[in-house]
Amino acid sequence: MNRPAILFAALFVSAAVHAAPFEKGDPKIGKTLHDKACVSCHVGMFGGDGSKIYTRGDRKTKTAQQLAARISGCNANTGAGWFPEEEAHVGAYLNQQYYKFK
């Protein structure tokens, strides 16, 4: 490969990583984990299925990094005991369903 091709490949790879936060997570697994450990308080606060906490206009989470941090924090706070892979599954689910960070 010549030098411009290598540069191009590197750019492409970093763009792809950036384009898909939580790409290692599986949203289906994430939904199961989330529905088990995470909805009770959110429902108490917002009613319905609690998802309004993610879609309200003044939601706190503005970037994929903040979402990841929030999931980690809630994981620790609630004692869900998830591994990093499980946090990634939940991130993939919440991002696909509600946040749509690129």
**Residue numbers of the site for ligand HEC (CB under 6 A)?**
34, 37-38, 40-42, 53-54, 59-61, 67, 70-71, 74-75, 78, 80, 90
Nearer to ligand HEC, 1 or 46 (CB): 46
- Which residues neighbour 80 within 8 Å (Cβ) at sequence distance 6 or greater? 33, 37, 38, 74
Phi, psi of 80 (to 5 degrees): -65, -30
Minimum Å gap between C-beta 35 and ligand HEC is 10
Q: Please tell me the distance from the alpha carbon of residue 80 to that of residue 57, in angstroms, as a whole number.
A: 27
Minimum Å gap between C-beta 16 and ligand HEC is 25
